[in-house]
Structure 1
């Protein structure tokens, strides 16, 4: 779960995804196959999908998780650190550890290298201490293969400097949101500071939006991921809790069907949002702007 500290800092500062198995199978009239069936599956978890340099994985993983729903429940509490960006390698490491890269041609599986783990740990352990957490014991870097050996593993990406900026307004260039409002606020509700990263994550919801489960779904998602920059409102305006309740009521069944039984995202749980009758904080409803 996102810590209370993270939430406080935040206020300061084209078909549906199916997860089908990959298959390249030649079968004659007798039903005999002369090539193997590739038992990979497409990655569907919102914190990993579109962020990795690959799209396919193979389960069960090294922890014995048979489904991506199981994986989701084990890594969702790391989502906050992925968003905060304590390390460019943290998301890559956690996702590839639980959802390793699968090559359907060679039928090989590759997880993270030791060096990727070490870079993520060195960058994130201080942030975790500040939030009264610690580097998970299950993330044992020394037990992973090294990029210097012949082992197949995923190498680390280049790190960049992390700066927590105060809230400021930016031009809205997110494709899903550009028609709704011209300005948004960064960092957003989840401490994300990169418009590119926000855009990548919002692509996850394109299939849900296409169902038209609720006419205000785009407003809700855009107001959450790129809060409205409103004059004289500090630090920003996010959608009201009543709208969240309406969206979840109308769209949760569609979400469950499209995303293979994944639970409604932790980020979109309605207790996070301000009710419209709260006079201490401002929230937004469609038609307010």
Structure 2
């Protein structure tokens, strides 16, 4: 985690919170800093074997961990090749448990498994972060960053293998500069779902994949600018959408009014420009897959990703920075589909004002074009030509035309 110190310095936020450097030898002189690259974020920093163990290929292990075949892959393999140093026991490594090994091996059955690593060789005790292990006790969240979520209880150990909330809090605070930088409105909720997961019947609820993808897409550019990769324990492919409905805490479906309110709460405005209820209706239509007139939580998370992406497109223009409006050329670039000049003129005359196109109208136009593109693709015909042709019924044509 100490690499984040450089990131904090780069964005001018040094001193916002303390970061400990735990790379020193302990009093026994046997614990060294973990230097295995994919174990930097596993939740501990010292090991008796900083560069791995003989007989276990780091390249093979790295491919298993980075494949995302199991959410527990890094927690298990790091404790095999670079196990946590047990300071009170004078540097004796803390070994992973048998159930954890069996869970990861089962999840990663399609990957090449090192023959020297047999689950029977590991102890049955000291289990953590295994769905089949004994359920823990729900506890009130004490990590400050995660105390005003839609849930208020968590369970340890977490996805990263932290056994206490103090350890989890230290780890999640390392991402605080990204949270206050505002690269993604979903980042804080996702981080907390990893480091202080929601407690359900004594077990940790897995993070929502859609929430992860939104946090990652929003912050990837900023992280890359300073030479950082998305941590292995937070790879979105390791999660599923099964827990997404529970992230919101409200099982009921959302109307356009609800969608607009939640978008405003997540910071969807630009300067003093907010989205209108009329635009919220268009946005709801875009992700209303079952045509119910409402969105469930998963559909809303997908919609939020679209809104965040379109908002960034609008804010990236030099014209917006100067006047708060975008130009006809910037609208054309944002549509992302080949549109003839007559259509662009028609859109511009319909949605722009004398100053240009404002944020609300920009969102409406881009979303409507996305809806039309999806409807065309859904009806596209397979023809033996280098062309794109779709078949529409009269009703479908009318719906698209008046949308």
TM bin, normalised by shorter chain, reads: 0.3 to 0.5
Please identify which structure carries the higher helix content.
2
TM-score by length of 2: 0.35
TM-score by length of 1: 0.48
Of structures 1 and 2, the one with the larger relative CO (CA 8 A, separation 6+) is: 1
Which structure would you say has the larger Rg?
2
